[in-house]
Amino acid sequence: MYNISMPDSFIPKHPVIVSYPKMPDAFAEADLIVKFLKEKGFDSPTGSLYDEDLRARIKQGEFDVLIAVGGDGTMLRAGHLCAPIGVPILGVNLGRLGFLIQIERGEWREMLGRLLNGEAWIEQRMMIYAEHVRAGEVLGRWHALNEAVVSRGMNLRPVRLAASVDGRLLTTYVCDGLIAATPTGSTAYALAAGGPILPPDLRNILLVPIAPHMSVDRGVVLAEGSSVSIIVKSDNTVVSVDGQPPLPLSEDDHVDVRAAEYAAQFVRFGDPGYFYRNLNAHLNQPHL
């Protein structure tokens, strides 16, 4: 048995609770969390994850932890909001999978008690920065916690995509698409496409082709600090970042991906080996 050094503990002073509006149960659960925290001496606001007034207060640094009630999609959206300002996120799972979440619906009272007792720590997860470039002009910029995907559009025929790493051609794919994922994203779309699972504390980009035809059919883990450029070699191609609506690409466009300048932060409990226990539990589920 090897020893795992524990990170420094984290005790918040100013929590805020947000809910995913498409989950009706989330608001009721959030209200219960607010009541629980009030009994502990906290006056914590709550609202929809898309409430602009509340989002503005979060961006201004008014809170030191965001409690997100929902599923993995809620955690992604909360990550986009909180990562630029360094606010940690604690998730309460009301969704199906919960790869990003340690706390299930029936556990939050116990876990919040542990949080307020100094038994939590902050996990840093790499994000990526992606740019859509056409003829030297940047047409789009995004940060992603999971992945950037360049893929075929409505037409069912495969597309040709060239991938360059640090300015050197890696290979050209004939495929349905190419995923550039973070270690966090290795358990999302990249996993469904047959890619490997990376530990969340790595800072590597993972390239995984989708349904490759007579092309390299294995995922490639890039060296830490490497960047990738995905160059479009055919029409009928789109780009989507963290599941956002796809945007059309033209031939010779490229999507450049590198590690972002900031990380998403998540509140965790127990030793850092929680990831493997959580992963094992999800992968052994008989039904989703």
Per-residue pLDDT of 40-50, as tens digits, reads 999 999 999 99
Residues 227, 219 contacting (CB under 8 angstroms): no
* Per-residue confidence (pLDDT) for residue 275, from 0 to 100: 82
Instruction: Measure the CA–CA gap between 87 and 11, rounded to whole angstroms.
Output: 13
Domains and CATH numbers, the chain: 9-119+270-283 (3.40.50.10330), 127-261 (2.60.200.30)
Instruction: Please tell me the distance from the alpha carbon of residue 54 to that of residue 172, in angstroms, as a whole number.
Output: 45
Residue 261 has pLDDT above 60, yes or no: yes
Model confidence at 89: pLDDT above 80: yes
Rounded Cα–Cα distance for residues 277 and 286 (Å): 16
Q: What is the pLDDT of residue 6?
A: 52
Instruction: Give me the pLDDT at residue 285, please.
Output: 60
Give me the mean pLDDT over the 198-215 stretch: 95
Instruction: Give the pLDDT of residue 149.
Output: 98
Phi-psi sector, 280: left (phi>0), alpha (psi -120 to 50), beta = alpha
Which token pair is 236? 């009928």
168 pLDDT higher than 90? yes
Beta strands per DSSP E along 36-184: 46-48, 65-70, 89-93, 103-104, 120-134, 137-144, 147-152, 159-165, 168-175, 177-181
64 is catalytic: no
Catalytic residue among 43, 53, 72, 253: 72
